[in-house]
Amino acid sequence: MADGFIIAASATLMVPIITLVLGLIIGYLAQRSGFCSIGGMRDLMMFKHTRLFFGYLTLIGGALIGYTIFWLIIPSAFPNFYWAGTQGFTAIPGAPSGLMVGSYIILAVIGGFGMGLIGVLLGGCPLRQIVMSSEGGRNSLFFVIGLIFGAIVFHAFTMGLVQAIMP
């Protein structure tokens, strides 16, 4: 059982507070900097601009530094760190569950490609779209409403389909 700084019994109260504060900080920072992962890749490929792309690279670096530091402080909160070392070539759980490794690779290719293509055509990754909607962009607001409906569609329909056809 994984144990973090906050015990499971107080999670009902603490998880909403922590995620709200995290969201506030990230929303604020992302609004100031125009942070966008897909936008970074687009600027790099289209104009050779590296500004936003460096943001995505440092996010990976920051996470690696953070995981290492907190893993040293409280190893029980990171039971399978470093994942490839303890679990090999598998996917960290997320929806859908219970598939073979090959299926996760196929899903990663389909999911990533679709996200990248639509994201670049509509002008931003999901985070950027949420931030743009909070800046007053009506197009992005409809994108965010789409995200909400998409979550329901995925669990009501897509996930069942995937689990039925993928080994």
Name the residue among 42, 165, 159 with its Cα closest to residue 111: 159
Identify residues 39-58 at the interface with other proteins (CB under 8 A): 40-42, 45-46, 49-52, 54-58
Q: Which of 147, 164, 165, 167 binds other proteins (CB under 8 A)?
A: 147
Rule CB under 8 A: is residue 100 a binding residue for other proteins?
Answer: no
State the Cα–Cα distance between residues 143 and 133, nearest whole angstrom. Answer: 8
What lies within 8 Å, CB to CB, of 28 at 6+ separation is: none
Does the protein bind other proteins through residue 149 (CB under 8 A)? Answer: yes
* Contact of 36 with 115, CB cutoff 8 Å: no
**Using rule CB under 8 A, residue 163 touches other proteins:** no
Give the interface size with other proteins as a residue count (CB under 8 A): 129
Q: Verify binding: residue 105, other proteins, rule CB under 8 A.
A: yes
23 near other proteins, judged by CB under 8 A: yes
By CB under 8 A, name the one of 48, 92, 98, 164 that touches other proteins.
92
Nearest distance in Å: CB 21, other proteins: 7
Q: In which residue are the tokens 């639509």 written? A: 118
C-alpha–C-alpha distance, residues 30 and 13, integer Å = 26
